[in-house]
Homo-oligomer: A and B are copies of this chain.
Amino acid sequence: MSPAADSPAAVVLLSGGLDSATVMACARRDGYRCHALSFDYGQRHDAELRAAEEIARDQAAVEHRTVRVDLGSLGGSALTDAAVAVPETPGEGIPVTYVPARNSVFLAVAMGWAEILDARAIYLGVNAVDYSGYPDCRPEFISAFQNLATVATAQGLEGRAPVIQAPLIDLPKADIIRLGTSLGVDYALTVSCYQADDDGRACGVCDACRFRRRGFEEAEVADPTRYR
């Protein structure tokens, strides 16, 4: 069931991955009309952007926009810099797939769009459990950004700052998959792999693939991921 035409709007950060597809389903469950926002930030493959488009259509988003932000031109991450290899064994500390300040940039753009739409919420799929050690996937980060939202825009100054919703932040991957399955998410459309091929098929060995595969196993849900 889709939210009514007079429902409040939410901006949903949609990467094309498992978590963000689940988050969009949460926003619908919460009664929002979803305006899906993806980023072309110099990531190595377009498969996830195509996946985002399909997920937005499948979940009846009001619209889906992709904003180009050329973070790759600053370098420093395996996700955007061809000179840095994606690791295939788990490491210690913050991994090379970390893109500095990525969620801050994404939320800032979302905050701007929320003001234009007068959206009441911004949903994002950060997760502090299986989070690979990214600083901007923690509750402290969400809280600091919520505080910023109250002073950074005209909407915020009017007391109408969008609420930053991170409904997956405390959930293990298996619980995310159970939640999304109960909300009708079609995980076959999602791409999590850091190095998916042009057809969206996963490598099966990077951090993201490992967390995802184990999540389906633990949730006892059939894994629809296409591996190459």
Where the two chains meet, the residues of A that have a C-beta atom closer than 8 Å to any C-beta of B are 65, 67-71, 73-76, 94, 98-105, 107-109, 111-113, 115-116, 135-136, 138, 140-141, 144-145, 147-148, 150-157
* Interface of chain A: mostly helix, strand, loop or mixed: helix
A115 in contact with B101 (CB, 8 Å): yes
* A100-B111, A111-B104 as given contacts; A94 in contact with B154, CB under 8 Å: yes
Nearest CB to that of A74 among chain B residues?
Answer: B113
| Closest chain B residue, CB of each to CB of A68 | B70
A100 touches B116 (CB 8 A): yes
In angstroms, Cα B98 to Cα A136, docked, is 28
A sample of 22 inter-chain contacts (CB < 8 A) reads: A65-B73, A65-B74, A68-B69, A68-B70, A68-B73, A69-B109, A71-B112, A74-B109, A74-B116, A100-B115, A100-B116, A100-B154, A101-B111, A101-B112, A104-B108, A135-B154, A140-B151, A141-B151, A141-B152, A144-B150, A145-B148, A148-B148
Count of identical protomers in the assembly:
2
In whole Å, how far is A216's beta carbon from the nearest beta carbon of chain B?
30
Contact residues in B for A152 (Cβ distance below 8 Å): 101, 103-104, 135-136, 141, 144-145
Cβ contacts under 8 Å, A144 to chain B: 144, 147-148, 150-152
